[in-house]
């Protein structure tokens, strides 16, 4: 029955009962009965209201005993409470999952309110920005990330591009920061560690600048000569020959540079270790020794000591290039009549190729940087002797592809010793290896 008809039926019932009571018991008794019934009803409702009040103060898990309409009311309330608690659990587990996922992100995430106060941040953001979600919640973000550019970026409200800054609280850390507006004037602040990327970018810029600089000098020389020659062809054949000679030198210099650049780029492509073939190092060194003699043209005393016949697993071409670079450096940085010795030996289970000279040597502060591309102690001397500044960078790459290490010991004015140490895993010992050969041009 609908509510309306129920109410009509109740009214009719009360009217009939009242009529009957009035007719049989009289008005006073009827009134007393009604007052009594009303009192009972008031007491009953009060009791249930008290039960409801107490029930609302509990977690609502146990349904109170009630009959009639109150029973229905409690049952309905119970259903509502259960639904609400299910929704609550669902939302809180979704929130927990979201927080766990955000915490696992490699990027820092900070949630800011509409006034740019911190509401929440993940552990990566704590590390990047030096903030703590425990103690810094509610703080204005610019009070904690103190950087003029950052404050300007926030105020400008143009967040299409990220802002790259050096984190003042964390030396050497470069961050990319970006605001992402959402909801009602709220923002996410995303932070990313771009230190490595920025370093690569700087290295790339330096590299391009260095290569351009290296190429510009010979090109200027050649261009200058060609211009002069095309304007007034020299009548003197000696001058002509001299100009051609210089142009040839500069062309050779550019060829060397391009050759070294190609070698470096090939080695950088070889991310993996070179497995390669069996390399007969003693045989290779004998050939390199002959080349060294011709490069030095009798200006140095050069000796070759082959104390072992140990061979290597690797690339013949790359190893030859590395060894040749070390030897040509020794010849170029050792004054005439100096001594240079090439040694192939084994020490502590490793094979060592070393080039020892008594040349100009290197000051200690330069030693750790010698293998950087284009790093030279004396730019003039390197250029004069046909250096590209890439030789030791190539040596380092070749050795690292062979799991080998470069050791540099040097003293200014006394000489240098460059040693390549090859680990046991790279060594092959031929049968009957008792070879000990000493070659010298003294």
Q: Would you count residue 387 as binding ligand ADP (CB under 6 A)? A: yes
Nearer to ligand ADP, 351 or 393 (CB): 393
Instruction: Point out which residues pair with 416 in neighbouring strands.
Output: 357, 410
Q: Give the span between the Cα atoms of 72 and 64, in whole angstroms.
A: 11
CB under 8 Å to 177, separation ≥6 — which residues? 145, 150, 153, 162, 163, 164, 165, 189, 190, 191, 192
- Interacting positions 135-154 with ligand ADP (CB under 6 A): none
Q: Would you count residue 421 as binding ligand ADP (CB under 6 A)? A: no
Nearer to ligand ADP, 377 or 401 (CB): 377
Q: Give the span between the Cα atoms of 91 and 344, in whole angstroms.
A: 71
Nearer to ligand ADP, 120 or 375 (CB): 375
Q: CB of residue 116 vs ligand ADP: minimum separation in angstroms?
A: 51
Which of 287, 341, 361, 356 lies closest to 319, judged by CA?
287
Tokens of 77: 């309330």
Q: Give the span between the Cα atoms of 116 and 181, in whole angstroms.
A: 11
Nearer to ligand ADP, 293 or 427 (CB): 293
Q: CB of residue 292 vs ligand ADP: minimum separation in angstroms?
A: 13
Q: Would you count residue 357 as binding ligand ADP (CB under 6 A)? A: yes
Nearer to ligand ADP, 243 or 404 (CB): 404
Question: Which of these segments, 176-184, 212-220, 298-306, 389-397, binds ligand ADP (CB under 6 A)?
Answer: 389-397
Q: Give the span between the Cα atoms of 276 and 6, in whole angstroms.
A: 98
Q: CB of residue 212 vs ligand ADP: minimum separation in angstroms?
A: 17
Q: Would you count residue 360 as binding ligand ADP (CB under 6 A)? A: yes
Cα–Cα distance list, 95 to 88, 162, 187, 243 (Å): 10, 28, 18, 79
Nearer to ligand ADP, 193 or 260 (CB): 260
Q: Would you count residue 359 as binding ligand ADP (CB under 6 A)? A: yes
DSSP sequence for 391-431: HHHHHHHHHHHTT-EEEEEEETTTEEEEEEEE-GGGEE--T
Q: Would you count residue 389 as binding ligand ADP (CB under 6 A)? A: yes
Alpha carbon 218 to its chain centroid, in Å, reads 38
Residues lying near ligand ADP in the complex (CB under 6 A) are found at 325, 329-330, 333, 357, 359-362, 370, 375-378, 382, 387-393, 416
């Amino acid at each position: 029955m609908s509510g309306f008809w129920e109410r009509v039926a109740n009214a009719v019932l009360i009217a009939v009962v009242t009529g009957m009571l009035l007719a049989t018991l009289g008005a006073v008794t009827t009134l007393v009965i009604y007052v009594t019934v009303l009192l009972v009803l008031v007491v009953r409702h009060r009791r249930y209201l008290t039960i409801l009040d107490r029930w609302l103060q509990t977690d609502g898990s146990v349904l109170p005993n009630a009959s009639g309409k109150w029973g229905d009311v409690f049952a309905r309330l119970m259903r509502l409470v259960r639904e609400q608690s299910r929704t609550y659990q669902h939302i809180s587990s979704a929130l927990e999952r979201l927080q766990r996922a955000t915490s696992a992100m490699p990027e820092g995430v900070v949630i800011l309110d509409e006034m740019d106060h911190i509401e929440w941040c993940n552990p990566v953001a704590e590390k990047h920005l030096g903030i703590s979600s425990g103690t810094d919640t509610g703080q204005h973000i610019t009070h904690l990330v103190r950087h003029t550019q950052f404050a300007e970026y926030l105020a400008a409200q143009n967040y299409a591009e990220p802002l790259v800054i050096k984190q003042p609280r964390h030396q050497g850390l470069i961050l990319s920061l970006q605001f992402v507006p959402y909801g009602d004037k709220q923002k996410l602040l995303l932070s990313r560690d771009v230190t490595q990327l920025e370093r690569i970018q700087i290295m790339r810029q330096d590299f391009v600048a260095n290569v351009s600089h290296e190429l510009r000098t010979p090109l200027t020389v050649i261009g200058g000569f060609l211009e002069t020659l095309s304007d007034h062809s020299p009548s003197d054949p000696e001058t002509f020959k001299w100009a051609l000679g210089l142009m040839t030198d500069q062309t050779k210099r550019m060829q060397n540079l391009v050759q070294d650049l190609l070698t470096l780029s090939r080695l950088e492509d070889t991310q993996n270790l070179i497995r390669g073939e069996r390399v007969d190092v003693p045989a290779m060194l004998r050939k390199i020794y002959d080349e060294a003699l011709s490069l030095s043209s009798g200006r140095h005393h050069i000796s070759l000591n082959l104390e072992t016949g140990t061979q290597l697993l690797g690339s013949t071409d790359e190893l030859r290039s590395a060894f040749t670079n070390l030897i040509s450096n020794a010849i170029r940085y050792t004054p005439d009549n100096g001594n240079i010795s090439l040694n192939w030996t084994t020490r502590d289970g490793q094979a060592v190729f070393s080039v020892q000279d008594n040349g100009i040597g290197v000051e200690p502060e330069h030693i750790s940087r010698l293998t950087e591309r284009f790093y030279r102690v004396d730019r003039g001397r390197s250029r004069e002797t046909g250096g590209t500044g890439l030789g030791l960078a190539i040596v380092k790459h070749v050795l690292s592809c062979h799991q080998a290490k470069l050791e540099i010991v040097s003293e200014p004015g006394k000489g240098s010793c460059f040693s390549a140490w090859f680990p046991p895993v790279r060594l092959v010992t031929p049968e009957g290896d008792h070879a000990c050969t000493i070659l010298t041009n003294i």
